[in-house]
Amino acid sequence: MPLDMDIREQLIDTVRRFVAERLRPLEAKVAEDDAMPPEVVEEMKQLGLFGLSIPAEYGGLDLSMEDECLVAIELGRTSPAFRSTFGTNVGIGSQGLVMFGAPEQKQKYLPGIASGEIITSFALTEPEAGSDSANVQTRAIRDGDCYVLNGSKRFITNANKADLFTVMARSDPEKPGAGGVSAFLVERNLPGLSVGKPEKKMGQQGAHICDVIFDNVRVPVENRLGREGEGFKVAMQVLDRGRLHISAVCVGVAERLIADCVGYMGERRQFGQALSNFQLLQGMIADSKTESMAARALTLETARKRDAGQGVTLEAAAAKYFASEMVGRVADRAVQIFGGSGYVADYGIERFYRDVRIFRIYEGTSQIQQVVIARETLKRGG
């Protein structure tokens, strides 16, 4: 539910100060160590960041989509790995349970998710099911009061830390496509579940992705999320919300990069004057600022529509498509403005350049967003 305006401003100010005073000074260390300091994770828990989107009755902050996006923008002003620490608890790892969970399931898991005691992951992607998410091959075959899961998932965020996985698996092998897929809440400690080593990645060091393997994992029937065959519906509604969250993070990163560029251009001198006096560089700033403002406006407008109960599949896809492409262009311009300094590690610009590349891939690639936007536009008749 929407926060009172004074409380909203207090929350945003608290997050802004936490980012500026606590997280930004640690950016280089986290990237170098490829690890999040435990004390920072504890501080995130104390601030309630793991429960931003969890209903208040289960201990969360129960933010509206608009409020969540405003907080996500602030979190975007530092390395994305920090947000990823609790991002699955806020988004794709918890929202299937929030939207479709039975009361008993919510009572069992949501309080721990909100506090950060339970870390969640969303296990959809497979070696042969990335953008083709309806082509899930992991099987969930009913056997008495359990489903037996077999298969593997790829590139699962926070899998090495997760206590609870939302898993998409094919419960009806005879039914191809989305209709044969169901969603399950799978606890980490079940026999037969194993997690691979973290992958080496282009960017976002400190945030980890791993394979998850299911070898005859017996999941109780009461841990199915929603009705059998509804898994794809669960996934798509979860992704609608997740795409807006990511859009907001992209806006925050872009605003951080623009501010860094403006500061550098005022200090750095060439040909006897500050870089800020050169009109070609001013043009880069103008393009970056305009695009970031447009992405912010689209993201927040769509968030308000979602809060009002409107369907936003098209708008969420458009926001994610535009914002993720936008921040890539802003990061590229930032490297150019910083020149050689942008290419070396000292200023952190090259790190952001690598970090933002994933935004065009996860929560649905830009090409998938284009498909969704076109399909929904055709449905609406324009």
Residues tagged active-site = 363
HSE-up (13 A, CA, CB side) for residue 273:
5
CA 19 – CA 7 distance, rounded (Å): 18
Q: Which two tokens stand for residue 167?
A: 């898993």
Task: Point out which residues pair with 152 in neighbouring strands.
Answer: 213
φ, ψ of residue 53 in degrees (nearest 5): -105, 5
CA 112 – CA 63 distance, rounded (Å): 17
Query: Collapsing DSSP states into helix, strand and coil, what is residue 53?
Result: coil
Say what the alpha-carbon torsion angle 189, 194, 198, 199 is, to the nearest 10 degrees. Answer: -150
Residues 68 and 53 sit within 8 Å (Cβ to Cβ): yes
Q: Which two tokens stand for residue 68?
A: 């969540």
Cβ-based burial of 286 (10 A; exposed 0-12, middle 13-18, buried ≥19): exposed
What is the β-pairing status of strands 120-123 and 164-170?
parallel
Handedness of CA 242, 149, 156, 11 (dihedral sign): positive
Concatenating the DSSP letter of every residue in 295-326 gives: HHHHHHHHHHHHHTT---HHHHHHHHHHHHHH
Question: Other CB atoms closer than 10 Å to residue 40's CB: what's the count?
Answer: 17
Q: How far is residue 48 CA from its own chain's centroid?
A: 17
